[in-house]
Structure 1
């Protein structure tokens, strides 16, 4: 295999990062914020979460660029030693699997609820797994090319569907601003941890970029797109439904879309279109998560990348079935959110500090992988 054939372009990396961040949060974030904040200041939490996410991404980029062409699974051993590095890598693999399982279980729940009511959720999950494995075994290039193709289409449809919600939008639902001060806003920061989980995968993907020096640009644009989508969603859903109604809706995003319709055009109702696009987005997010986990296993063991993907199917399926209902699925999401904070900010910060103090760098080019 020639050098460079497994490298992904800057545009592909932007699409991959934004795709990983736009996932189940489209449905869960508005209700979670309404429950936590309880005031119309929800949208401020999204902006603050985006700022914190960008600061975390700068730490991740700085750390990764000190060890060019090495992934997190390789350079953490150089910083904290083989044994601690291996333990940390195993935890990161488990975290990636947990996110993947959460995303695909959420995808299965909505598919069953809105499209396939009589179909057992296990059948839905298994079908999605086997479609994903077909893409995964090709390595990072097919994944990046597919996401590069689908991501702009999904983003445009998301923006269109949300903007159409202005038909039922009422500005008074966004007032008053800072009605109860800054306290509720600070409480609303925790749901954004889950929403922006996926930034930590830059620890793996920067090593695969054709131009790693563009990583800061990737972080800014790749995070900026999801922040804009989530901000637009939260503002319009709050204006269309009000905070109190959002608290009592299982899926506020769908509730908003079902509030309006347009006659005389190709689509009069947009809930089915939105669901299809969202399922595509969830699918690509799951693929990214499993790729990271399989890549980690292949770099830690003698198991090949392809075999690792097949092994992980069973692990993800078992994790998917652990939550017995939506309440337990929400608790899993909370665990993921706090774990994401650890892997996107706390752990990279410690590793970067150690690397700077010990003056550790690595400029060698390792062999390409899948």
Structure 2
């Protein structure tokens, strides 16, 4: 029996997936491209992201209650469809490794200083395996439990840092080269909205799919708005140069909080936000990866592969990614994400429309 989740749970799932990873790196990436106009870059990415989400929603409706992987086989044929699925799950595999590596490096460098990253990766991956084996419904219900605390933490972080704001840091506005704003917007789009292509693998498990676009937009646009606010606060509190230089600017933002010498250095809030949003993002991606493998390999139960695949992910996160992260993420990963998140969905949608029109013409 296929597990089902509500529209509200899907909105929270979308929110977690767009916040995870992005919220801690986007301010730095945006500041490198747009300087004091960094928040405008996030706004550009959000506007383009609206159309990306609309594309994914249309694809979901085209599946008529079937899974995304079944849609691929039905539209592209058994063999070619399977090739596309393998490309898709390979991208998800790469995405999981990247997210797992980044969160392990953050914890090892900022929280559990001196702890081997391999130990952190193992603990997170072990917990992820338990979550994925429990199913999507359990994952989304757990998200519902943590969601209010994450939102509260975001609000507290933004409110407590207000006394440290220096408004002059965002001026002059619109002085950055427009081409850099556009390129930066595409880069940020790749790390936020385009990664949500992974959610196509669970959209068939959402109740009342005819309303999915509305809740998809609610989750993603609210998450993008928070990223834009955090980016703006980083620029106004830390300044352009510091935001560009720090690897984890939102964490430093928490360190700047000082209210009457009583409430200060509560960077743990930022760590809490990022850890749990990124963890749920990894869980979701892992679940979709296994569903794709289940479809290609014609397995009855995806749970059989949870532990073997975990070994591969651990090896990739610990050995294969750590020395090439910056260059890979800023050169290779963006075009890969554009292919997986834009080009493939558009081609699949066109193939679906063409096949439908051919079927109607044959009937007449």
Question: Residue 256 of structure 1: CA displacement?
Answer: 2.0
CA contact (8 A) 1:101 1:320 kept: yes
Aligned partners of 1:138, 1:181: CA distance in 2, in Å?
49
Return the match for 1:269 from 265, 272, 287.
265
Q: Does 1:296 align with 2:292?
A: yes
Tell me the equivalent position of 1:285. Answer: 281
CA contact (8 A) 2:27 2:231 kept: yes
Q: Does 1:70 align with 2:98?
A: no
CA contact (8 A) 2:10 2:216 kept: no
TM-score, normalised relative to structure 2: 0.92
Superposed counterparts of 1:206-355, under 5 Å: 206-263=203-260, 267-303=263-299, 304-321=301-318, 322-325=320-323, 328-334=324-330, 335-355=332-352
SS at match of 1:180: coil
Question: Residue 181 of structure 1: CA displacement?
Answer: 4.4
Tell me the equivalent position of 2:19. Answer: 22
Tell me the equivalent position of 1:162. Answer: 158
Question: Residue 118 of structure 1: CA displacement?
Answer: 2.1
Moved more, 225-234 or 161-170: 161-170
Aligned partners of 1:104, 1:68: CA distance in 2, in Å?
34
Aligned length: 355
Aligned partners of 2:112, 2:152: CA distance in 1, in Å?
26
Superposed counterparts of 1:59-138, under 5 Å: 59-138=55-134
Question: Residue 49 of structure 1: CA displacement?
Answer: 0.6
Task: Provide closer, same or farther for how the CA distance between residues 121 and 276 of structure 1 changes in structure 2, counting only shifts above 3 A.
Answer: same
Question: Residue 360 of structure 1: CA displacement?
Answer: 6.8
Give deviations 1:157-187, integer Å, cap 9, x for gaps.
Answer: 1232023222111111111111134222112
Aligned partners of 2:27, 2:273: CA distance in 1, in Å?
19
Q: Does 1:145 align with 2:137?
A: no
Aligned partners of 1:105, 1:71: CA distance in 2, in Å?
29
Question: Residue 197 of structure 1: CA displacement?
Answer: 3.9
Tell me the equivalent position of 1:183. Answer: 179
Q: Does 1:202 align with 2:162?
A: no
TM-score, normalised relative to structure 1: 0.91
Structure 1, unaligned runs of 5 or more: 363-370
CA contact (8 A) 1:67 1:361 kept: no
- The list of structure 1 runs, each at least 4 consecutive aligned residues, that deviate by more than 4 angstroms after superposition, is none
Superposed counterparts of 1:9-48, under 5 Å: 9-37=6-34, 39-48=35-44
CA contact (8 A) 1:72 1:89 kept: no
Question: Residue 301 of structure 1: CA displacement?
Answer: 0.9
Give deviations 1:291-324, integer Å, cap 9, x for gaps.
Answer: 1101111111144211121121012112212123
Question: Residue 191 of structure 1: CA displacement?
Answer: 2.7
CA contact (8 A) 1:93 1:293 kept: yes
Give deviations 1:117-146, integer Å, cap 9, x for gaps.
Answer: 222111111111111111110111101111
More helix by share: 2
CA contact (8 A) 1:21 1:197 kept: no
Structure 2, unaligned runs of 5 or more: 360-364
Q: Does 1:174 align with 2:156?
A: no
CA contact (8 A) 1:95 1:336 kept: no
Aligned partners of 1:50, 1:29: CA distance in 2, in Å?
13
Q: CA RMSD in A?
A: 1.9
Task: Provide closer, same or farther for how the CA distance between residues 156 and 332 of structure 1 changes in structure 2, counting only shifts above 3 A.
Answer: farther
CA contact (8 A) 1:47 1:231 kept: yes
Aligned partners of 1:324, 1:358: CA distance in 2, in Å?
44
Question: Residue 100 of structure 1: CA displacement?
Answer: 1.3
Aligned partners of 1:155, 1:74: CA distance in 2, in Å?
36
Give deviations 1:58-99, integer Å, cap 9, x for gaps.
Answer: 111112211122222111111111111111101111111111
